[in-house]
Amino acid sequence: MSFTTLQVGQAGNQIGLELWKLLRKEIPEYADTMFDSLNSEKARCVLVDTEPKVVNKYIEDDTLKEFFKKENIFSTEEGRGNNWAFGYTYVEDSFDEKILDCIRHEAENCDFYEGMLMIHSIAGGTGSGLGSRLMEKFKDQYGKAKLINVVVWPHPSGETPLQNYNSCFTTSFLQKYSDSVIIFENESMLKLIPKCIDGKKVHSISMKNLNEYISVCLKNILTPCSDEKISLYDICELSPVPQLKLLSCNSNPFIFNEELSCDKFKEWQDIITTGFNQITHLKGTPYLVSGKTYCRYKETGAFDTLPSHLTKKVNSKYKSVSWSSTALTHVLTNETPFYSQKSCPFSFAFLSNSTISTRPLKNILKYGRSKFKSKAYLHWYDKYGMGEEEFCEAFRYVDETVEAYEKGIL
């Protein structure tokens, strides 16, 4: 089974820089799932941005150059100015069709094509707008293939005036076309990273550090073990009904500034406890729809007690929904963690579908609707043919998603 990775916009391609650094270390085990073994083990990855700055790094850097196909890198001259409508509607010289041709070419080279893992932010113009257009066309052409989106959520306080509108539009497309959406909230990561690396003085956490955290999470769930094939279907199992497909991911230990912060962890129990402590919720106890833990541990001795320990931890953090009592599974691998050279004995990740995801949704809806009421910035969308009806439809989709979680848990 194989899948393609599609990175769109600045965030998508910057996260990719960190992710492929980790994945490359495990070639050739993953050669035919994420790497094209027929083509010198180059990544089965398509890289897209409207401005050339970030994707050019993949062309100019000597180490990266080896792993990426130059013909899979697409860019234009100018970004989409944090405007979803600009990104969605303006595709000069059939830019979108060229990208889809490239994805088709990659898919045709796979023995069994599972689908696409797409990485992007929801708040800018390219990853969100052009990304939405690509999701729509991909699902139109490959109805049965899976689409998993890894998305970066903006700070609620607002980095750009259009971010909540853009986020609502992207969320409505995710709800229509994606099979599972793994959400990484920039603000939550800023709070949780110091918890993973305490004992060290953290002066500031950079965007690169956020991307390192996201990459470690993705690495743990995409390559739980080196001799078993990764499958997008395993991740999609966590979305039992199409309306409930928003996932969160946490992982421990964590590589910070290329240094593994694992000195303070003596036992696997400590690593799991710190991993679960990363999960934050504002009010009450969240409901868990489904979850999967991923553990790599060379010592099999602990495998008898690990599952019940993990289940206990999950139950202390979440309430379970009445209709989904067996929704928690554990993937335990008798293998040294991939960063074992740094003497860490154990790695842990938790991928979960829970009501925690409704909090960021409510935020973009609240701020988006309040701006819409005062008709702020609507002309930026109107000039690309997006009228008030389109806004109302996007808000309705976000509303329905929140409602699906609130009703679904009963």
Ligand X SMILES: Nc1nc2c(ncn2[C@@H]2O[C@H](COP(=O)(O)OP(=O)(O)OP(=O)(O)O)[C@@H](O)[C@H]2O)c(=O)[nH]1
> Residues near 350 by Cβ (< 8 Å), separated by ≥ 6?
249, 250, 251, 275, 276, 279, 291, 292, 293, 294, 314
CB of 124 vs Mg ion, minimal distance in Å: 6
- State the number of CA atoms in the 13 A half-sphere of 229 facing the CB: 14
166 binds, among Mg ion, ligand X, none (CB under 5 to 8 A by kind): none
Size of the residue set binding Mg ion (CB under 5 A): 2
Residue 402: is it exposed, middle or buried by C-beta count within 10 angstroms (0-12/13-18/19+)? middle
> Residues near 306 by Cβ (< 8 Å), separated by ≥ 6?
268, 295, 297, 330, 332
Among the listed residues 4, 5, 7, 10, the single contact to ligand X using CB under 6 A: 10
Among the listed residues 2, 33, 76, 126, the single contact to ligand X using CB under 6 A: 126
Q: Which amino acid, 290?
A: S
CB of 43 vs Mg ion, minimal distance in Å: 21
Extract the tokens encoding 359. 């909090």
φ, ψ at 183 (rounded to 5°): -100, 130
75 binds, among Mg ion, ligand X, none (CB under 5 to 8 A by kind): none
Among the listed residues 210, 344, 364, 409, the single contact to ligand X using CB under 6 A: 210
Q: Which residue has the tokens 């607002």?
A: 158
156 binds, among ligand X, Mg ion, none (CB under 5 to 8 A by kind): none
The answer to whether residue 80 forms part of the interface with ligand X (CB under 6 A) is yes
Q: Which of 80/219 has CB closer to ligand X?
A: 80
* Residues forming beta bridges with residue 59, ordered by sequence position: none
Site string for Mg ion, 61-80 (x = CB under 5 A): ------------------x-
Q: Which of 99/123 has CB closer to ligand X?
A: 123
The answer to whether residue 127 forms part of the interface with ligand X (CB under 6 A) is yes
CB of 103 vs ligand X, minimal distance in Å: 18
SS (H, E, C) 24-90: HCCCCCCCCCCEECCCCCEECEEEEECCHHHHHHHHHCHHHHHHCCHHHEEECCCCCCCCHHHHHHC
Q: What totals of helices (H) and strands (E) does the chain contain, helices first? A: 15, 15
The region of 108-116, 204-212, 222-230, 234-242 touching ligand X under the rule CB under 6 A is 204-212
CB of 302 vs ligand X, minimal distance in Å: 33
Q: Which of 9/368 has CB closer to Mg ion?
A: 9
Interface with ligand X in residues 37-56 (CB under 6 A) = 50
Among the listed residues 7, 10, 180, 274, the single contact to Mg ion using CB under 5 A: 10
Question: Which chain residues interact with Mg ion by CB under 5 A?
Answer: 10, 79
